Amino acid sequence: MEMNSANVEAVVKQVLESMLKQPVEKPAGVSQGSQGIPKTAHVAMLTALEHYDVKEFPMPEVGDGDILVKVEGCGVCGTDAHEFKKDPFGLIPVALGHEGTGEIVKMGKDVKADSAGKPLKVGDKVVTCMIFKDNPDITMYDLNKQNVGGADVYGLLPDDDIHLNGWFSDYILIRKGSTVFNVSDLDLKSRILIEPCAVLVHAVERAKTTGILRFNSRVVVQGCGPIGLICIAVLRTMGIENIVAVDGNQQRLDFAKRMGAEHSVNFMDFKGIEALSGGVKDAFGGYEADFAFQCTGSPVAHANIYKFIRNGGGLCELGFFINGGDATINPHFDLCSKEITLVGSWVYTLRDYATTFDFLKRAKAIGLPMDDLITHEFPLDQINEAHVTNLKQEGLKIAIVNKD
- Minimum distance between the CB of residue 190 and Zn ion, rounded to whole angstroms? 16
Query: HEC string of 346-363?
Result: CCCCHHHHHHHHHHHHHH
Q: Which is nearer to Zn ion, 100 or 279 (CB)?
A: 100
Rg (CA), the chain: 22
- Minimum distance between the CB of residue 155 and Zn ion, rounded to whole angstroms? 8
How many CB atoms sit inside 10 A of residue 29's CB?
Answer: 6
Q: Which is nearer to Zn ion, 66 or 205 (CB)?
A: 205
Check residue 373 for interaction with Zn ion (CB under 5 A).
Answer: no
Residue of 216, 99, 115, 108 lying closest to 168 (CA atoms): 99
Residue of 361, 351, 380 lying closest to 96 (CA atoms): 380
Q: What is the DSSP string of 270-324?
A: -SSHHHHHHHHHHHTTS--EEEEEE-SS-HHHHHHHGGGEEEEEEEEE---SS--
- Minimum distance between the CB of residue 309 and Zn ion, rounded to whole angstroms? 28
Check residue 130 for interaction with Zn ion (CB under 5 A).
Answer: no
Check residue 400 for interaction with Zn ion (CB under 5 A).
Answer: no
Check residue 374 for interaction with Zn ion (CB under 5 A).
Answer: no
- Minimum distance between the CB of residue 199 and Zn ion, rounded to whole angstroms? 7
Check residue 194 for interaction with Zn ion (CB under 5 A).
Answer: no
- Minimum distance between the CB of residue 100 and Zn ion, rounded to whole angstroms? 10
Check residue 227 for interaction with Zn ion (CB under 5 A).
Answer: no
| 233 backbone φψ class: left, alpha, beta (φ>0; ψ -120 to 50) | alpha
**Do residues 47 and 93 make contact, with C-beta atoms less than 8 angstroms apart?**
yes
Check residue 350 for interaction with Zn ion (CB under 5 A).
Answer: no
Q: Which is nearer to Zn ion, 270 or 321 (CB)?
A: 321
- Minimum distance between the CB of residue 370 and Zn ion, rounded to whole angstroms? 16
Instruction: Compose the 71-90 pattern: x for residues touching Zn ion by CB under 5 A, - for all others.
Output: ------x-------------
The residue number with the shortest CB distance to Zn ion is: 77
Check residue 148 for interaction with Zn ion (CB under 5 A).
Answer: no
- The footprint of Zn ion on this chain (CB under 5 A) covers a number of residues equal to 1
Q: Which is nearer to Zn ion, 197 or 240 (CB)?
A: 197
In angstroms, the CA 370 to CA 191 distance is: 11
Q: Which residues in 207-226 contact Zn ion (CB under 5 A)?
A: none
Q: Report the length, in residues, of the chain.
A: 404
In angstroms, the CA 148 to CA 266 distance is: 34
Q: Dihedral sign for Cα 327, 329, 335, 336, please.
A: positive
Q: Which stretch binds Zn ion (CB under 5 A): 70-78, 104-112, 150-158, 160-168?
A: 70-78
- Minimum distance between the CB of residue 153 and Zn ion, rounded to whole angstroms? 9
Angstrom CA distances, 314 to 127, 290, 302, 361, 377, stand at 33, 6, 13, 28, 37
State the residues that interact with Zn ion by CB under 5 A: 77
